[in-house]
Amino acid sequence: MSRVPAARAKAGPGDDRIFNGREATKGAYPFQVALLSSNALDDSPQSQFDAQFCGGSLIAPGWVLTAAHCLVEYGEAIPPEVVTALVGATALDEGRRHAVAEVIVHPGYSESTLDNDIGLLRLAEEADAPAIAMTDGDIEDGAVTVIGWGLMENGYFPTNLMEAEIELTANDACNAGIKEIYARDLGHILQAYAGRMRYSDEAVSNATTAIAATMRDPLTGNMICAGLADGARDACNGDSGGPLFAVRDGGPVQVGIVSWGEGPMDADAACGHANAYGVYTRLANYRDWIAGKTGN
């Protein structure tokens, strides 16, 4: 996972991306926020490109919703002065920068499991941009959209905001797909030592099956799953913190926050893999917590 204050220029090919997305129309998502590493900024708008490390969403004029893992380094919440919120940008060389007055990380956030992967930024000055509505309850299925500036499948970072349309998927399917990847990786690890340690292919198969049977589900009840079964479109941690939303009669309604993804250990990136999907923070579980912090 990307951590603050990692700059885009230092990320390796395939690290983080919206996979097989398309460019968003200018001004289509005014609630989208880019989190910038303040130390990487200068007076030029072009510096915003290299400084972007995560996404977020404007949920009220003075508040940005994002992922906790974007706001934690070495087990502690980052100081407000190291992050700048860019509001009103479709391309990263536009928009208005906002200083951050307060960083709030959910007290139950776990760096090991990414449970409760949610955080808030209180802006020093309110943003003049529309906020996105948040879901009042679970949306179990249907089409959703994810947006972000993460690395694309061609190995390049986009200047323009990208979008991808995907489907909400049952957590059971997501758990099964991820555990299948874990089991396959385990088998490859055991196979690599078979010659040196002189155990048989049958022993590898038996050990892999036995260990896989004890694996716990990687998703908790605070997570939702979305993607496509063939992995054709996906989001990864370069887009972390950004919104997953459904479109209803009243417009976009945020249902999740980009959190994490999984892929085989020999893959270039943990995204775009069949039956693995992407994992998002289940926003419906946190409306009371958000209201308690923001009044919204």
Q: Who wins on pLDDT, 283 or 9?
A: 283
pLDDT above 80 (res 16): no
How large is the average pLDDT for residues 168-194? 91
- What residues make up the domain containing 83? 16-171+219-294
pLDDT above 90 (res 159): no
Q: Give the model's pLDDT for residue 57.
A: 99
Q: Are 103 and 119 in contact (CB under 8 A)?
A: yes
Domain assignment present for residue 238? The answer is yes
Name the nearest CA neighbour of 137 among 255, 257, 284, 243: 284
Q: What is the DSSP string of 37-59?
A: EGGG--SSTTHHHHHEEEEEEEE
Domain assignment present for residue 41? The answer is yes
Catalytic residue chosen out of the listed positions 15, 16, 115, 117: 117
Domain assignment present for residue 179? The answer is no
Domain assignment present for residue 264? The answer is yes
Judged by average pLDDT, the poorest of 61-65, 88-92, 262-266 is 262-266
Cα(286)–Cα(259) distance, integer angstroms = 15
| 128-157 pLDDT tens trace | 999 999 998 877 778 999 999 876 555 567
- Residue 240 bears catalytic tag: yes
Domain assignment present for residue 59? The answer is yes
Domain assignment present for residue 176? The answer is no
CATH number of the domain to which 86 belongs: 2.40.10.10
pLDDT above 50 (res 13): no
β partners of residue 165: 145
β partners of residue 32: 57
pLDDT above 90 (res 62): yes
Domain assignment present for residue 11? The answer is no
Percent of the chain with pLDDT over 70: 84
pLDDT above 60 (res 14): no
Catalytic residue chosen out of the listed positions 37, 38, 57, 240: 240
Cα(85)–Cα(190) distance, integer angstroms = 45
Q: Give the model's pLDDT for residue 38.
A: 98
Q: Give the model's pLDDT for residue 8.
A: 43
How large is the average pLDDT for residues 95-117? 98
* Tally of structural domains, the chain: 1
Q: Give the model's pLDDT for residue 253.
A: 97
Domain assignment present for residue 47? The answer is yes
